[in-house]
């Protein structure tokens, strides 16, 4: 099987290329980066996923696509909204249009847990509830937990499933949901098969260094490398699901295999997380301990687009695709403390 990996030079994409080679598949890369130190035998196309000619060249002879190319992270408020929409949604539309024209009908999409907004919450009186966005006044006062929208009582966070209501709460999240809608529309129109892997907090080797578009794990690791204490926002009690990048790459391979038997005309979403939630403060402490650096510092700061708790139930991925995470939290933090990071990359404007 010949598989195009868009964004194949990036953090997750490069690991997808690795796992495809190990599995005996033939990866092809489309990325804005030149080949550089990457696999010398992998067919490599330097170009932007928004460029129809570059996309069509890269798709020649391809059987399936792993679409990893995207602008990620919360970014800089609304000031980079056009860039997010261009890279993520226009890029996906250009890719899918070319796939339709060339009769390529298998897609694995790099989705994201951000499409859910806040995670799953239970009120002791009202059962499962959906809290709205947190108010700036409450955040300024250090009240970080979302209250029950009906009675105002404290809520118990739980694991979110794929059938939870979708509620993107920032620009990046909105573009990731739009990517899924575009892929679903393409699958219906073309009788194609698509899977969206809704990544939770991915970390590991080759994460980009400190940048507004990197994940919290990268911020903490970069700080430790500078000899600084990781700065933990809010009170550090935000719950997340940290999943190692090698496990995410393995999920892409499992999804490619599953496309062979999926019904035509459908998109199926799968949470891709470890199933072992930890708080951001716990992660910062474990990483600092493994690195041998200064202890994390709670700042009380917040970002308005952030959600409080979002943790995955990945039971669908386990049961339907037979995927299992291999790297536990303690091992992953130990490895990540020693992993080299990638240089931060400048944001490029559309051509």
**Helix %, strand %, coil % of the chain (to 5):** 35, 20, 45
Average pLDDT over residues 14-32: 97
Average pLDDT over the chain, rounded to an integer: 94
Side-chain-side CA neighbours of residue 136 (13 Å): 3
Mean of the pLDDT values across residues 37-61? 96
- DSSP assigned state of 56: H
pLDDT band at 205 (very low <50, low <70, confident <90, very high): very high
How far apart are the C-alpha atoms of 164 and 304, rounded to whole Å? 22
- Strand 26-31: give its sheet, edge to edge: 44-46, 26-31, 2-6, 64-67, 106-112, 193-199, 266-272
56-72 pLDDT, tens digit per residue, is 999 999 999 999 999 98
Q: Is 2-119+160-338 in CATH node 3.40.50.720?
A: yes
Q: Is the pLDDT of residue 349 over 60?
A: no
345: confidence class by pLDDT, cuts 50, 70, 90: low
* Percentage of residues in the chain having pLDDT higher than 90: 86
| Structure-block tokens of residue 325 | 């995470």
pLDDT in the model for residue 38: 86
Q: Is the pLDDT of residue 347 over 70?
A: no
Mean pLDDT calculated for residue range 137-164: 95
pLDDT of 37: 81
> Above 90 in pLDDT, residue 97?
yes
pTM of the model: 0.94
Query: What integer pLDDT is reported at residue 34 of this predicted model?
Result: 93
Q: Which of 276, 269, 351 is nearest to 317 (CA)?
A: 269
Q: What is the pLDDT of residues 310-332, one digit of tens each?
A: 998 999 999 999 999 999 999 99
- Of 199, 200, 217, 195, which Cα lies nearest the Cα of 208? 217
If pLDDT is split at 50, 70 and 90, which confidence band does 75 have? low
Decide if pLDDT at 100 tops 90.
yes
Q: How confident is the model at residue 77 (pLDDT cuts 50, 70, 90)?
A: confident
Confidence of residue 106 (pLDDT cuts 50, 70, 90): very high
* Residue 214: band (very low, low, confident or very high) from pLDDT cuts 50, 70, 90: confident
Could you tell me the pLDDT band of residue 122, with boundaries at 50, 70 and 90? very high
pLDDT reading at 193 higher than 60:
yes
Mean pLDDT across 203-218: 86
Residue 144 has pLDDT above 50, yes or no: yes
Q: What is the pLDDT at residue 346?
A: 52
Average pLDDT over residues 147-152: 95
Could you tell me the CA-to-CA distances from 192 to 15, 97, 152, 260 in Å, in that order?
25, 12, 45, 11
More confident position, 211 or 61: 61
| Whole-number Å distance between alpha carbons of 309 and 95 | 33
CB 175 within 8 A of CB 89: yes
Per residue in 245-300, pLDDT tens? 999 999 999 999 999 999 999 999 999 999 999 999 999 999 999 999 999 999 99
- What is the Cα 30 distance to its own chain's centre? 19
Token representation of residue 91: 């890029």
């Amino acid at each position: 099987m010949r598989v195009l990996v868009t964004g194949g030079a990036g953090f997750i994409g490069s690991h997808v290329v690795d796992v495809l080679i190990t599995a005996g598949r033939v990866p092809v890369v489309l990325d804005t980066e030149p080949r550089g130190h990457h696999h010398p035998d992998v067919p490599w196309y330097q170009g932007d996923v928004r460029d129809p000619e570059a996309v069509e060249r890269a798709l020649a002879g391809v059987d399936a696509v792993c679409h990893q190319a995207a602008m990620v992270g919360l970014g800089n408020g609304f000031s980079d909204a056009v860039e997010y929409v261009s890279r993520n949604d226009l890029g996906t539309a250009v890719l899918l249009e070319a796939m339709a024209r060339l009769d390529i009908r298998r897609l694995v999409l790099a989705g994201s847990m951000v499409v859910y907004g806040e995670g799953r919450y239970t009120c002791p009186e009202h059962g499962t509830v959906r809290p709205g966005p947190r108010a700036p006044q409450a955040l300024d006062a250090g009240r970080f937990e979302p209250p029950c929208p009906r009675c105002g009582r404290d809520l118990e966070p739980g694991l979110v499933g794929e059938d939870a209501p979708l509620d993107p709460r920032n620009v990046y999240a909105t573009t990731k949901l739009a990517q899924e809608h575009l892929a679903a529309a393409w699958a219906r129109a073309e009788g194609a098969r698509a899977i969206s892997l809704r990544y939770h907090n991915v970390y590991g080797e080759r994460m980009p260094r400190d940048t507004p578009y990197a994940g919290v794990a990268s911020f903490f690791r970069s700080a430790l490398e500078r000899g600084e204490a990781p700065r933990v926002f809010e009170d550090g009690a935000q719950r997340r699901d940290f999943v190692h990048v090698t496990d995410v790459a393995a999920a892409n391979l499992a999804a490619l295999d599953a496309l062979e038997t999926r019904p035509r005309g459908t998109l199926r979403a799968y949470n891709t997380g470890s199933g072992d939630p930890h708080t951001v403060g716990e992660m910062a402490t474990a990483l600092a301990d493994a690195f041998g650096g200064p202890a994390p510092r709670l700042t009380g700061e917040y970002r308005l687009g952030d959600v409080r708790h979002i943790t995955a139930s990945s039971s669908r991925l386990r049961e339907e695709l037979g995927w299992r995470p291999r790297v536990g939290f303690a091992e992953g933090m130990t490895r990540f403390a020693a992993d080299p990071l990638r240089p931060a990359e400048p944001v490029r404007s559309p051509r």
